Amino acid sequence: MNLHICLDGNFIQQAMSVFEHFFPDENVFIIFNFRERRNYKGDVPVYRYDLNDSELFDKIKQICSTFAVKNVVTHGFTANYSRIFQYLKENNLFSGQVYWIFWGYELYNALGETGKYKLVDENSPFIKLTYIAPNPLHALVRKIIGKHLYSENLEKVLPYFDYFCFWFPHDFELLHKYYISHAKFKYFKYISSYKSEAEKADFNISPKNVCRIMVNHQASLTGNHKTIFQKLSAISGIDKFEICTPLSYGSNYIRKSVLRMGKRYFGDKYNALLNLMPLNEYNNFLDSIPVAIFGTMRQEAAGNIMRLLKSGTKVYFREKNPLFQYYKEKGFIVFSFERELNDITDLQCLSEEGQLHNMQVAENMRVFYEDFMPSFFD
């Protein structure tokens, strides 16, 4: 059996479905920070625990004994995970490998708090909130009050990982630039398609007859909303556009702050998505966007970005964001927020030729579950 250790999140249901599809009846899930409103579907054994449960190790031991665990798959990680891996290893509760399905925050927050990677702009209203912003001051304050540090937690768990599972090699290289790890890279992507269910490529231009600019994809600290708002608000003629920020998930505190900023900068021309939408409805919303701007300086929102690119949206990136260079190298027509967004003409849609070009590049890049899942545990 394969033991999956997870934090409750948007991708776990998909993970259950995909792993069961390729490795039927070989998976058991332990979910921490479980949200009562989330009801996971399927016949996969699921155990919901609190990380601070005094009997946690005994419960994990019982699961490993009951299901004869071979491999361990961790979907992201947080504090105390190093103790779990240590316990599993020292008690010989599994016989195979440990696979780390990378989420992003584990590495970027660690680099941010050590000052090795800048995540938040200096003008951010959150820069001094040491309990939110991952930076050296944040690390100092957390250390003084006895809180765990992202960087120390990463160093503790790395020795237990045999594979770094993700679709973006840059983050694997970034990990090895700053940390010592024997983990090998293995391709993995939560959201893909099955070949049998893949729709035939549609190169029709999606109607983009709304004057709307999408800024970021969630209520994220690293979205640097203020930087984007300030530059847009200074462009002559920006009042012809609706500025829209998806805020249906992320930090409640940041959501409230972004809402206040949006109203202050754009008044009635500001709009926000506050409620989760059905996937098909949200995809239709993304397909209608003429221009999207992402303020992150780290890899983030790749699923949203790929949907936008393959629907012909004009996408602006921060130049420090590794996705900017990645998509350029893949052949997409993408734009620099710092250098190429200067006046109202820069907010025009991509030409039909440019839209069709990006659609074709996206089609050429498609990776299906059958391309990587059958060999996941090889």
* Beta partners for residue 270, in sequence order: 243
| Cα distance between residue 362 and residue 87, in whole Å | 44
- The mean pLDDT of the chain is 91
Burial class (CB in 10 A: 0-12, 13-18, 19+), 318: buried
- Which of 31-35, 61-65, 72-76, 355-359 bottoms out in mean pLDDT, i.e. has the lowest? 31-35
Residue 362: which pLDDT band, with cuts at 50, 70 and 90? very high
pLDDT at residue 93 tops 60: yes
pLDDT at 209 over 70: yes
- More confident of the two residues 196 and 101: 101
pLDDT, position 206: 73
DSSP for residue 347: G
Structural Rg of the chain based on CA atoms = 22
125 CB burial (10 A radius; 0-12, 13-18, 19+)? middle
- The H-or-E segment that residue 185 falls in is strand 184-187
Q: Lowest-pLDDT range, 78-82, 170-174, 198-202, 301-305?
A: 198-202
Residue 54 pLDDT class (50, 70, 90 cuts): very high
Q: Which two tokens stand for residue 150?
A: 């992202």
Q: Tell me the average pLDDT across 313-321.
A: 97
User: Could you tell me the domains of the chain?
Assistant: 2-194 (3.40.50.2000), 212-364 (3.40.50.2000)
Helix crossing, 225-233 with 252-266: angle to 10°? 10
For 7-23, what is the mean pLDDT?
91
pLDDT (average), residues 110-133: 76
Instruction: Say what the pLDDT of residue 119 is.
Output: 87
pLDDT given at position 271: 96
pLDDT at 130: 46
Side-chain half-sphere exposure of 59, counting CA atoms within 13 A: 14
Give the amino acid at 232.
L
Q: How far apart are the C-alpha atoms of 286 and 309, rounded to whole Å?
A: 10
CA 7 to CA 103: how far, in whole Å? 11
Tell me the residue ranges of DSSP E strands in 197-309.
Answer: 212-215, 242-246, 270-273, 291-293
Range with lowest mean pLDDT among 115-119, 142-146, 323-327: 142-146
Determine the Cα–Cα distance for residues 325 and 78; give it in Å rounded to an integer: 30
Average pLDDT score over residue span 135-153: 71
CA distance 129 to 366: 40
Helices 81-90 + 150-157 axis angle, to 10: 10
pLDDT of residue 131: 46
Query: How far apart are the C-alpha atoms of 241 and 341, rounded to whole Å?
Result: 15
pLDDT value, residue 189: 95
pLDDT in tens, 221-262: 899 999 999 999 999 999 999 999 999 988 888 999 999 999
CB of 15 closer than 8 Å to CB of 75? yes
Residue 125 has pLDDT above 80, yes or no: no
CA quadruple 337, 173, 121, 323: dihedral, nearest 10: 20
Mean pLDDT of 310-336: 96
